[in-house]
């Protein structure tokens, strides 16, 4: 008796066909946008035969074999939405991928005001491997905050905070540059919770001026200008991400991204504070630069500058 072919989960088949990431495919199913053999399917546990069952998304037949897998690393600038479509009409990361005919989508996300490394692909299986918490993929961010960050504030960040029952705690954080009125920090994260750095910083009263992702494991944006992207093979990408052929975290010693920026020690930080007397980063004054007040603050500053220039005339 011939052995029956294994049935596959509907969201996996859709992801393999380049529709979207597996998580996004689950959302599409729940929205009632998928038909299997002419019937609408909204159950996530649905399994189908990829060779005989007809699967349509938004009325379009998908074909797993017709998709060439594509992998690229994009350096996302500020002012772009990490999605394939924005109902508000804002620019999306796909606008930066002109000339690419295949349907690709971002792996994970960076919010509208964030920038840096973003993987784009149509390989649903790889996307799931990168996003799944069990792989412990390390992501590296450089974050500029308003004010002076000393050892006391660093201790608060390293201790972590609990928000909505979740502990937000970085793998590590260090000062890489101290400016007269701002400080650059390097964060390393492994869990990748939604807006983790922004939530963590606000919880310890810090206000972010700029946030960029510079690396994921050994993959970095070095040499990629904002708005540009580089193509990778799947092998190159997996090697950089320390994931082996079977889809497991590699046991080979990690080729982690190492920044060329040196850590500014507590002694140097305290010395700078003593002579320059900067305002601490958790000062109430900097809250006006937060996302919900940012544009209003800039507007007021421009009005003040214009009035000053008029008075000089």
| CATH number of the domain enclosing 58 | 3.10.290.10
Instruction: Please say whether the beta carbons of 183 and 207 come within 8 A.
Output: no
Least-confidence region, from 121-130, 134-143, 199-208, 215-224 = 121-130
Integer Cα distance of 300 and 302 in angstroms: 5
Are both 19 and 149 inside the same structural domain? no
Instruction: Please say whether the beta carbons of 96 and 229 come within 8 A.
Output: yes
Are both 38 and 100 inside the same structural domain? no
Are both 108 and 193 inside the same structural domain? no
Are both 39 and 60 inside the same structural domain? yes
Q: Give whole-number Cα distances, 254 to 217, 240, 242, 305, in Å.
A: 8, 9, 6, 51
Closest by Cα among 76, 112, 111, 109 to 95:
76
Are both 182 and 203 inside the same structural domain? yes
pLDDT tens for 220-257 read: 999 999 999 999 998 899 889 888 766 677 766 556 88
User: H or E element: which one contains 126?
Assistant: helix 124-131
Asked if the structure places residue 279 within a domain, the reply is: yes
pTM of the model: 0.76
Asked if the structure places residue 308 within a domain, the reply is: no
Integer Cα distance of 73 and 96 in angstroms: 11
Are both 124 and 147 inside the same structural domain? no
Are both 162 and 23 inside the same structural domain? no
pLDDT above 50 (res 1): no
Asked if the structure places residue 288 within a domain, the reply is: yes
Asked if the structure places residue 1 within a domain, the reply is: no
Are both 209 and 282 inside the same structural domain? yes
Q: Does the active-site annotation cover 65?
A: no
pLDDT-based confidence at residue 5 (cuts at 50, 70, 90)? low
Asked if the structure places residue 160 within a domain, the reply is: yes
Asked if the structure places residue 307 within a domain, the reply is: no
CB atoms within 10 A of CB 2: 4
> What range does the domain containing 223 cover?
68-133+218-262
Are both 76 and 128 inside the same structural domain? yes
Total domains in the chain come to 3
Domain of residue 154, CATH code: 3.30.70.1560
pLDDT tens for 38-86 read: 899 999 889 988 777 889 999 888 876 656 788 999 999 999 999 888 8
**Considering 53, 86, 95, 111, which one is annotated as catalytic?**
111
pLDDT tens for 128-162 read: 777 766 667 889 999 999 999 999 999 999 999 99
């Amino acid at each position: 008796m011939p052995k029956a072919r294994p049935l596959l989960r509907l969201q996996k088949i859709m992801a393999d066909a380049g529709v979207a990431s597996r998580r996004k495919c689950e959302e599409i199913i729940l929205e009632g946008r998928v038909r299997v053999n002419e019937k609408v399917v909204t159950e996530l546990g649905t399994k189908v035969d990829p060779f005989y069952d007809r699967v349509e998304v938004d009325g379009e037949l998908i074909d797993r074999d017709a998709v060439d897998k594509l992998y690229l690393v994009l350096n996302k600038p500020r002012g772009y939405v990490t999605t394939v479509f924005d109902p508000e009409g804002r620019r999306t990361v796909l606008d930066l991928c002109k000339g690419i005919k295949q349907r690709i989508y971002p792996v994970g996300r960076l919010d509208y005001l964030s920038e840096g490394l973003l993987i784009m692909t149509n390989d649903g299986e790889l996307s799931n491997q990168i996003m799944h918490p069990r792989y412990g993929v390390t992501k590296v961010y450089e974050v500029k905050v308003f004010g002076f960050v000393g050892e006391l504030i660093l201790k608060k960040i390293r201790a972590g905070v609990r928000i909505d029952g979740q502990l937000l705690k970085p793998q590590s954080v260090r000062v890489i540059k101290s400016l007269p009125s701002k400080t650059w920090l390097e964060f390393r994260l492994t869990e990748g919770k939604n807006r983790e750095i922004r939530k963590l910083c606000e919880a310890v009263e810090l206000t972010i001026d700029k946030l960029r992702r510079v690396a994921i494991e050994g993959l970095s944006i070095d040499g990629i200008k904002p708005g540009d992207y580089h193509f990778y093979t799947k092998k190159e990408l997996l090697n950089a991400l320390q994931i082996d052929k079977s889809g497991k975290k590699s046991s080979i010693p990690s080729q982690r991204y190492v920044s060329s920026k040196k850590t500014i020690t507590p002694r140097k930080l305290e010395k700078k504070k003593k002579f320059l007397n900067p305002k601490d980063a958790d000062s109430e004054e900097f809250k006006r630069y937060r996302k919900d007040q940012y544009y209003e603050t800039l507007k007021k500053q421009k009005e003040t500058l214009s009035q000053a220039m008029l008075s000089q005339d």
